[in-house]
Structures are given as structure tokens and as C-alpha cells.
Structure 1
Amino acid sequence: MVSEPVALITGVGRRVGIGAAIAERLRADGWTVVTTRWSDYDRRMPWGADETTFGMEADLADPGTPARLFDQVSAEYGVVRALVLAHCESVDSGVLDTTVESFDRHFAVNARASWLLIREFARRYPGPPGVGRIVALTSDDVVHNLPYGASKGALDRIVLAAARELGHLGITANAVNPGPVDTGWMDEPLRAELQARTPLGRLGLPRDCAGLVSFLCGPDGGWLTGQLLLSNGGFT
């Protein structure tokens, strides 16, 4: 067991990703940080798996994974006081070309797994009131990204439900939309287009989102709950 408060962050598979930046920031804040990744997903994506990252392998498409994950984290580290949902399934496709299998997998990972993780967190949370934190990363990108965007919309509603239903436990629940963040997946034309659409004149960086998550997980974030927060430099 550890003496510092424990934060569980899902989806930390790449050092350049938002999840990794959040993990680094929370460690600097004094949290014991436990992370998960799913290397098979990264191998399917153009960037490939980052073998320099460390974390528990967790296939969140399996509905039994959240309970097993919390069993392991609780046994090795103690009570989880912050749950940060940074995982996702994200494969571009639109209304006409999305397959049923892809649609179902997106909802299994992005919505169902998030609900099950939140449920495990709340069931095991012993208090004290006002300390528990849930933060989920969301997105409003849905055009030609249908299953991703639709499942993130479902995630938003799950988080809002958690804010109301878990309030008696003193747990806050918020969703953060970081907008387009440059983690190496953009080509130059897309980077230029998105930067031009951002009033602050640059793309988001992982540390931008990490700073907001740090605030929400800290003592000063205890009065914010049930919010969908845009941390995107005014991107429209």
C-alpha cells in the first residue's frame, strides 16, 4: 500500500499522448499514479505501439476487465481516489461506411467500459466525502468519425448521471473536451487548418488538458461537478 492518494488513469499507451501528460502532472501533484494501456489497439493504429510506456494491459472491450482492474489496483496500491478516463477506441468512418462490428466496439470501449469503471470506483469508494474525483476525456468530433463521436456523446451522459447519482458519496464527475490536440496524428494541411480555426493561434498540447485535469482532481476542484468543460483555446 502507498501513503499518497491513488489516481487510476486509463488509456496511457503513448508518451506523447494526453493520458501520459495527465499522469506526469498528477505525479508532480503528489498522487500515486497507476495507468493502463492496450497495446493491441495502438498496433492497429498508424502510429503503432509505444513500447517505452509502462502500465497495466487492460482490454476494456471485455466487460470483466474493470472489476479485475480495480481488484488488482486496490490490492497493490490501496483505495483509488481519482479515476481519469483517457482511453478510447477511435477509427474513422462515417454514416455510410461504419460497420456494425466497429460501432459495437466503439460503444463497448468508450461508453460501456467507462460506465463499468465508474461503477467499480463508486462501489469501492470509502470516502471521505469531497475527495473522490472522476474526470473523462470526451470529444464532439462526429462527422466522418461516427462511432467515435456517438460513443463519446454517450460517455458525456454517463458522466452527468454519475455527478448526480454519486454526489451523496462526495464524488465529483466532469467531462473535459480538449479539442484537437497535436499528439503526432495530424498531417501538415490538417494542422494548419485546425490552427487557423483556433482563436489563440495554436493547437492544443497534452499539457494544456493535463493542467485542467490537475485542477479538477485537486482540492480546489471540489465544487465543480456535472460539467462538460471545453479546454480547446476557443476552437470552433
Structure 2
Amino acid sequence: MSHRPVALITGVSRAIGIGATIALSLADAGWDLAMASWRPYDQSMPWGSSPDELTELTRQLQEAGAAVSCVEADLSQPRTPEQIFDHAEQQHDSITALVMSHCHSVDSDILSTTVEAFDTHFAVNARATWLLVREFARRFRAEAGSGRIVSITSDHTAGNLPYGASKGAMDRIVLAAAHEFRHLGITANVINPGATDTGWMTPELQEEVRRITLGGRVGQPQDCANLVRFLCSEEGGWINAQLLYSDGGLQ
């Protein structure tokens, strides 16, 4: 059994994604990884997804010294968070950090959003977050003060109503965990990485983002991963119950 701490990361399936970059960063920092992904969602989006990406990611993580497990998990189903933790604990020791980079995002505005789309966004982005956080606390056995919850959010709302609204609900759930899990010594923080280049931006949008960002460039997945790595470290333990913007000064 490895003596490295274990981080459970959701939303890991695309090599260019934030979740995969977080996994690589944590592996380099000495963590083992339990990863959950849902490729049918990625395959339904313009960028697609290939099983080779997850295979290559696993190889890179193992080369970095991490023990790695992966599970396909449909977070729109209520029992999935419990199943993810069951699978992770069969492969690893107890989970010390929960990093949630999963999402469901299909653009629609107030008038065009369907009830079905609204419910799916809330099931994946809000309800699943609650159930994952709850499961993490129920099973937490690591040393008090070492537990970490980190989630990735967005403040996009206009033209993307169900996504933005469900992410807002997710924020409140995670920030509540910082207070309710105080007795367990678990910190809980939310990161808003702003517009991040994970393959969805057109060249025109990239240029616009560069123009309105004080940092003068488009955000990269590594920018978010750097902050997750710090928050999960011992040095990051004093940061708690915060919604942190890591967006280069996006205006």
C-alpha cells in the first residue's frame, strides 16, 4: 500500500482539460490519484474525447510515481458519488482530498432552456457536488487538518443560464462544507479560473480574452492546477471557505 496521500478528482478524461492537468500536478507533488470521468459527455461536445487520452494520462501519472485508478461515472445519477468512493477505496487508502472539476455545460438562455436541460445541469453540477462532499466527509479518516475540498466554478450566466445557475449552487455547497466539516479539520475552497483554453475557444474569442485580461494572455489549465496544488498542500491549509479568482485579472 502506498504511503502517499490520495486525491479523488472528478472530470478527468481530456488531456487538454483542467482535471487532467490537476492530476499531473498533484502526482508531481506526491499524491496518488483516484479519477472519475464520463466520456459520453465529452463525446457529445464539439471537442470529443478519445480513450487513448486517459490511457496516456495514466501512464504519465504512474511515471511520476503515483498509484492511479480510474472509473467511468455518470454524475447525473444519484448513486454515482457513493460508487465512485467505493471504487476509490477498493484501490487506495482513504481519500484525503476531493477535487471536483466535473461539469455539465450546454449553452442556452432564459427563454431557450428546457426543464430537462435545467434539471440535468443541477443534477451534475450541484446535486452531485453535494453528494460527493457528503460522501467524502462520511468516510474521512485522515489526520485532522489534512483534509481538502476544492471545486472549480464559473460565473458565466447570461446565455448559459443552467450552467451558471448550477455552478452558483455548487459554490454555496462547497463553502458550507468549510463550516460544517470544521470538526474534521477539512478545508473547502472554490476556484474560478476564468476563461481557460481547453479547446473550446475560437481564435477570435482567444484574442478578445487576451484584450480584456490584465495578464495579457488566455488562461491555461496549468494556472488552475497550480492553485489546486497549493490549496492541497500543508502550506495551503490556512486558506479556507474562499471563492478564489485565478483568472489573470479578467475584466
Q: Do structure 1's residue 17 and structure 2's residue 17 form an aligned pair? A: yes
Higher mean C-alpha displacement, 67-76 vs 196-205: 67-76
SS at 2:51 equivalent: coil
Question: How do 1:48-197 and structure 2 match up within 5 A?
Answer: 48-54=48-54, 55-197=70-212
Residue ranges of structure 2 left out of the alignment (5+ in a row): 55-69
* SS of structure 2 residue aligned to 1:174: strand
The answer to whether the aligner puts 1:29 opposite 2:44 as a matched pair is no
Residue 222 of structure 1 aligns to a residue whose secondary structure is helix
Number of residue-to-residue matches in the alignment: 236
Report deviation, 1:191. Answer: 1.0
Matched, 1:6 2:21: no
Q: Secondary structure of 1:225's match?
A: coil
Q: Which residue of 2 is the match for residue 209 of structure 1?
A: 224
Q: How many Å separate the matches in 1 of 2:199 and 2:208? A: 15
**C-alpha displacement at 1:195, in angstroms?**
1.1
Return structure 1 stretches of 4+ with deviation > 2 angstroms. none
Paired residue secondary structure (2:52): coil
Aligned-pair distance for 1:2?
2.5
| Unpaired stretches in structure 1, ≥5 consecutive residues | none
Alpha-carbon contact 1:127-1:170 (below 8 Å) kept? no
Quick check: 2:95–2:142 contact (8 Å CA) kept in 1?
no
Query: What is the correspondence of 1:196-235 to structure 2 with a 5 Å cutoff?
Result: 196-235=211-250
Deviations 1:118-155 (A, max 9, x none): 00000000131100000000000111010000000000
Give RMSD over aligned pairs.
0.8
Over the matched positions of the two proteins, sequence identity in percent amounts to: 57
Specify the SS of the correspondent of 1:204: coil
- 2:59 maps to none
Give TM-score scaled by structure 2 length: 0.92
| TM-score of the superposed pair, with normalisation by structure 1 | 0.98
For 2:199 and 2:223, how far apart are their aligned partners in 1? 16
